[in-house]
Amino acid sequence: MSRQANRGTESKKMSSELFTLTYGALVTQLCKDYENDEDVNKQLDKMGYNIGVRLIEDFLARSNVGRCHDFRETADVIAKVAFKMYLGITPSITNWSPAGDEFSLILENNPLVDFVELPDNHSSLIYSNLLCGVLRGALEMVSAALYPPGPPGMEQGLGKTFA
């Protein structure tokens, strides 16, 4: 019985390492494919965005959180529910701007960077840039405010749909 339980955590640990390692292999491959780090960052962000767009559906279906009414609430859900659910960590929220439209997430134990040591020639590579893309993609799907300004009249339409 205890062996069985042991195996359970073992396979959980392995599946989490699988993600970290796969991500590492991906970044390595991108560094081979693109000449400069900027392009790798951009590519990681783009892939993250595509993931975020689909992740939000998974998140809403599984977490049962309702609509957030302000950005502070959004920050709380991201840090305490979403990060907990997908990466098993809870980043702290700091550096709120006075207007309340900007905040920082501090990740103390980012699982993406386990086993990683960046060589010196990649100083401008943002290793975990995928996460930024994921956040952007996911938030864009639930928040009209993040849409880029469309043609006139578009915003009204959006406002109605999302109100």
Partner 1 sequence: MVDAVLFEFLHTEMVAELWAHEADPDPGPGEQKMNLLVLESMGFRVGQALGERLPRETLALREELDVLKFLCKDLWVAVFQKQMDSLRTNHQALLCPQGTYVLQDSSFPLLVRMASGLQYVEEAPKFLAFTCGLLRGTLSTLGIKSLVTASVAALPACRFQVVVQRS
Binding residue for partner 1 (CB under 8 A) from 38, 58, 102, 155?
58
CA 93 to CA 75: how far, in whole Å?
7
Position 109 contacts partner 1 (CB under 8 A): no
Number of residues in the chain: 163
- Binding segment toward partner 1, per CB under 8 A, in 44-52, 63-71, 94-102, 116-124: 44-52
- Binding segment toward partner 1, per CB under 8 A, in 9-17, 73-81, 97-105, 140-148: 9-17
Binding residue for partner 1 (CB under 8 A) from 42, 47, 107, 140?
47
Q: Where are the beta strands (DSSP E) in the chain?
A: 92-94, 104-106
SS3 100: coil
SS3 27: helix
SS3 94: strand
Amino acid at the residue 35: E
Counting residues that bind partner 1 (by CB under 8 A) gives: 33
Summarize as ranges the residues that interact with partner 1 (CB under 8 A). 7, 10-26, 28-29, 43, 47, 50-51, 54-55, 58, 85-88, 111, 115
